[in-house]
Chain A
């Protein structure tokens, strides 16, 4: 009996490693890609020294950061100060448990997958608030306050976008959400919601143009001003891992997950995981493109966009979509 439990446990651990390790490696390449794309936008070369085309730059940076001294400020609340980056990192990896990469390629195919993702992404704010409070210093605290209000505001519209998709699917299971898009990807009939979701995802992951929690021109480095060495690396990894997680969520909700664009011969031979990766990479490119293009929002403008533009609009779309589905009798059972 115990032997069975051991085997099951080992399989689960292997599955977790098979997801987490590629995610962490792709974080390294995402950082490289971001620097390279930004450099191209700004007519520079970007990292080009370490390895061919500078492709090993992120690994060199990570090594450098980890070997530095880890400084814990004497005035800080030490336990919470150390816990904050760990929580950020763990939460950004926890969401991957329910992401289906291809048919059946999922660690845990739970019935409430999308709710789980929503819950995990809404918990992400705790790492930031705890870091800002525990640092016991003005700039991190201001960053934490900004991020708390910002993430709570944009979660509301993300919630409504998810409800619209769920109305069209009739299930909270992520695999079923993907399979419901076999005829048409939800990005086409629900295009406005796709755009709102993408912009809210930028705000939820604290990316430019909504990176006010770490706004370097006013707040030094925002909530992680006091962090150094390994704890800084954890924040950094966590932020990029949650960026990839939000991109995967966008792909699953709107771009048909692992499905090929058309179900015709040369396209449907390619394995689903390849399509999934390509789509995630496309969304990540959009994230970086936005960063290279737009200036940062002012805080009141950010709040206005969230509460006065996105919230009424997404609420209207929930009502409109459900009305349409009921009127044309297209509700999934």
Chain B
């Protein structure tokens, strides 16, 4: 039990600190790296809750794919640090508003009866030992009760994907593309043309 609490406080404090660093780091690349650290710690918290499937999905999807592309873009940007700091005061009220709304929402969540039961139960720190693996449990719920919602999510993602492809796919002229099939079918009869050249004349 002591070990669980210790690891919980380790993961959560590092997650909160790195989340703070995300918004306060001067270099945007450092911000993204702290964001990744925060994700990894959040997945550690999921493991402590016994939700190992969610933890791994968080690492695979957010850290392994989304954050890589994020880092990729941020690295290539030519960032003007002075201009970035000019924007800080401009966006401060909006950010503060968002923060206050979130804090109020969390407060409501903890003050209502339903969640206070969970809160008083003292169980969240222990991993829940079940007969059924939670991967299986998620599958059983996702593909039966929430089947239509799940399918709708899939369709939304598909539409978003097609949309982003059509937005970025532009056929610029003058790009040479390799047609591997036609290149592989080339043989002597199609590639070489024999000509009889008269001496002293050239082609």
Contact = CB atoms under 8 A, between A and B. Distances in A.
A119 interface: yes
B75 A129 contact: yes
Given A123-B59, A123-B63, A152 B135 contact: no
Given A77-B27, A125-B68, A152-B64, 15 more contacts: A80-B29, A80-B33, A111-B133, A115-B60, A119-B56, A122-B59, A123-B64, A129-B71, A133-B75, A148-B68, A149-B72, A151-B68, A152-B65, A155-B64, A300-B178
A145 interface: yes
A110 B52 contact: yes
B15 interface: no
Interface in B1-36: 2-3, 27, 29-30, 33, 36
A112 to B, nearest CB: 5
Chain B contact-residue range equals 20 to 34
A80 B55 CA distance: 26
A2 B64 CA distance: 37
A130 B33 CA distance: 9
Contacts of B72: 129, 145, 148-149
A152 B3 CA distance: 36
Interface in B24-54: 27, 29-30, 33, 36, 52-53
Contacts of B56: 112, 115-116, 118-119
Contacts of A129: 68, 71-72, 75
Contacts of A203: none
For chain A, what secondary structure do more than half of its interface residues adopt (helix, strand, loop), or is it mixed? helix
A317 interface: no
Interface residues of A, number: 31
Interface string B128-160: 000001110000000000000000000000000
5 contacts: A80-B30, A111-B133, A118-B60, A119-B56, A123-B59
A112 B135 contact: yes
B180 interface: yes
A96 to B, nearest CB: 17
A151 B60 CA distance: 13
Nearest to A119: B59
B53 to A, nearest CB: 6
Contacts of A116: 56
A166 to B, nearest CB: 10
A304 B180 contact: yes
Interface in A110-141: 110-112, 115-116, 118-119, 122-123, 125-126, 129-130, 133, 141
Contacts of A125: 64, 68
A171 B60 CA distance: 18
A132 to B, nearest CB: 8
Given A111-B52, A115-B57, A300-B178, A152 B33 contact: no
A93 interface: no
Interface string A97-117: 000000000000011100110
Given A130-B33, A133-B29, A155-B64, A112 B59 contact: no
A81 B134 CA distance: 39
Most buried by B among A5, A119, A122, A152: A119
B69 interface: yes
Nearest to A2: B2
Contacts of B133: 111, 171-172
A1 B133 CA distance: 30
Interface string A141-161: 100110011011001000000
Interface string B58-78: 011001110011011001100
A301 interface: yes
B55 to A, nearest CB: 8
Nearest to B133: A111
A315 to B, nearest CB: 13
A217 B65 CA distance: 29
A147 to B, nearest CB: 10
A125 B64 CA distance: 8
